[in-house]
Amino acid sequence: MTVTGSALAMLGGGQALLGSGQAFAQAQQGRLRIDPTEFQPVPIAITNFLPGSPSDGDVGNGVTQVITNNLKRSGLFAPIDQAAFIERINNIDVAPQFQNWKTINAQALVTGRMTRQPDGRLKAEFRLWDVVSGQQLAGQQYFTSPEYWRRIAHIISDQIYERMTGEKGYFDSRVVFVDETGAKERRVKRLAMMDQDGANVRYLTRGSDLVLTPRFSPNSQEITYMEFGQGDPRVYLFNIETGQREIVGNFPGMTFAPRFSPDGQRVIMSLQQGGNSNLFVMDLRSRSTTRLTDTPAIDTSPSYSPDGTRICFESDRGGRSQIYVMAAGGGQAQRISFSKDDTNATYSTPVWSPRGDYIAFTRQGGGQFSIGVMKPDGSGERLLTSGYHNEGPTFSPNGRVLMFFRDPGGNGGPSLFSVDISGRNELKVPTPGFASDPAWSPLLSATPG
C-alpha cells in the first residue's frame, strides 16, 4: 500500500502554506490513498440454479458448475464452497438475507433458475447481487435449445465477469488447436476445436495430412491454417459450418504462418522464395496479393494490431530472429525486442493483443523457451512462464489471458496451458490427447453472424 497523505495534514492541518496554484495537488495530497500491492480474487458465492421443474435439476447444477469453474479459472474470483453457505436460496425472485452472505465473506452472490418451456426450449434466469450494498448488479434471462445449456452458462459467466471487472469476458469463446495422437515418430495431427474450457471437442480434419498454425477469422466461422499435402505446404481457408476448404492464393513456393486481418477481409502470410521468405497480404475478395517486405532474410509470423494499421512479425534480418513492427502497408520496420539479460536470446511467434496493449511472444534463451509480453514499443518486457519448451501464445478475446502449448520433452507430447498476462494463475487446459498450436476465437456472442 502506498501512502501519500499530506505532511501538512498530518501535522494537524494548521499550516496551510501552499499557494493557490497548488490547490488541486493539495486536495489530492490531503486524501488518504490506497494502492493494493497484492492481487486478491473476489470472494463470490454461486448457488445452485433452481430447477423450474423436477426434471431440470441436472441442467441447473450443470450450469452452476460451469459458471463456478469459469470464474475460478479466471483467477479473478474465488468461488466459495457451497458447504459454507448459511442460507439456502429457494426463490430467486426474493432478495436474499445479505447478512448470511456477509458472514461467509462473500462480496457477490449469484442466484439463478433453469426452466424448461412448453415449447421445449430452456429458459435461464440469473441475478448477480452485491452482498455488501444489498443491490442487484445484473439480472438476465435467456432462452435456448436444451443442448446449448453450456453456452448459456458461458454467457452468464461473461455477464458476471463484465459487471464485476468492467471488462468484457472471454468464456463464450472457442479454441482451435492441433490434436496430436500416436507415437512420436508417426504422430497424427488433426485440426480440432473446443470450448475455451476444454468441453465440446470437435475434429475438423481426418489426420491424413499434417496441419499447423490454425487461426480464427474475426467472425469465428472460418479458420486459416497451413497444411502439408502432396507438394509444398499451403495456406488453406476452412469453413467451420460447411466443412469446405480452399487454398489461399496460388503461389509458386511454400506459404505459411497465415493470419486474418482484424476486419477479416485479408490474410497475411509468409511466402518462401529461395532461402528467404517475405510477407504478403491477400485480399480475400479480389484475391489480389501485395508484397509487404522484400529482404534477403526470413520474415514470418505476421500479426495485425487490433486497429489494423500496423503489423508485428519476426525476422532474422539482424542476424538473429527478433520482433519487428511496421505499418500494415509495409515500409520501414522497427525492431522492438532487445533482451537485456541475454544478448543471444531470440524472439519469435509475436501476436498482438486484441486490446492493443501488448505483444506476446516466444523467447528462446539460456536453454529455455519462455512465453512473455511486451508493449508494442518494446518496453515493459515480462516473461510469464519459462521451461523446456513453451511456444505459440494466443490471446483470449479480452486480452487478459494467454494460451500456449508446452512440450515437456521425452516421449510425451505437448499440452495446452493458460496464464494471466500478469504471469499468475497458470493452468493446464484439458484436451483429449496431446495438443499444440492453440488459437483463441473472438467472443462468440459478440461476433456477427
Partner 1 sequence: MNVKVDKTLVASIALHVLVIGWGLITFSSRAYVAPEESLPIDIITTDQLAQITAGQKTGKKEEPKPKVEKISDAPPDEDAVGKVTTKKELIKTTSTPEPPPKPAEKPVEKKPEPPKPVAEAKPKEEPKQEPKPEEKKPDPAKEDPIAELQKKLETKKPPPKPPQPKVAAVQPQQQPKPKERTFDPAQIQRDLDKREPTRHELTGSALNASASLGSNTGTAVSNVATWRGAFQGAVKRCFTPTYNGQDADQYEADIDIPMKIDGSLAAEPIVVAVRGPSRSIAQAVAESAKRAIVQCQVYSFMPKQQYESWKLIPMTFGLKDML
The footprint of partner 1 (CB under 8 A) covers: 1-3, 5, 7-13, 27-28, 30-37, 39-43, 76-77, 102, 107, 130, 132-133, 162, 164-167, 355, 357-358, 375, 380, 399-400, 420-422
Q: Which residues pair with 112 in a beta bridge?
A: 126
Nearer to partner 1, 132 or 327 (CB): 132
> How far is 357 from 440, CA to CA, in rounded Å?
17
CB of 24 to partner 1, least distance (A): 11
| C-beta separation of 127 from 138 below 8 A | yes
> How far is 81 from 71, CA to CA, in rounded Å?
13
CB of 255 to partner 1, least distance (A): 34
Q: For residue 346, what are the contacts with CB-CB under 8 A and spacing of at least 6?
A: 320, 321, 322, 363, 364, 365
CB atoms within 10 A of CB 270: 26
Q: Which amino acid is at 223?
A: I
| Count of CA atoms in the C-beta half-sphere (13 A) of 329 | 0
Nearer to partner 1, 400 or 406 (CB): 400
CB of 416 to partner 1, least distance (A): 23
Nearer to partner 1, 77 or 369 (CB): 77
Nearer to partner 1, 30 or 229 (CB): 30
Specify the residue for cell string 517486405: 293
Strands 42-46 and 77-79: parallel
CB of 102 to partner 1, least distance (A): 7
CB of 76 to partner 1, least distance (A): 5
CB of 275 to partner 1, least distance (A): 38
Specify the residue for cell string 445484473: 138
Q: Which residues pair with 43 in a beta bridge?
A: 78
CB of 337 to partner 1, least distance (A): 17
CB of 124 to partner 1, least distance (A): 24
Element (H, E) at 123: strand 122-130
Nearer to partner 1, 87 or 357 (CB): 357
Nearer to partner 1, 209 or 357 (CB): 357
| C-beta separation of 227 from 233 below 8 A | yes
| C-beta separation of 259 from 267 below 8 A | yes
Phi, psi of 25 (to 5 degrees): -60, -40
Nearer to partner 1, 33 or 202 (CB): 33
Q: Which residues pair with 181 in a beta bridge?
A: 188
> How far is 327 from 304, CA to CA, in rounded Å?
9
Nearer to partner 1, 107 or 370 (CB): 107
Phi, psi of 432 (to 5 degrees): -65, -35
Nearer to partner 1, 158 or 420 (CB): 420
Positive/negative CA dihedral, 290, 292, 295, 301: negative
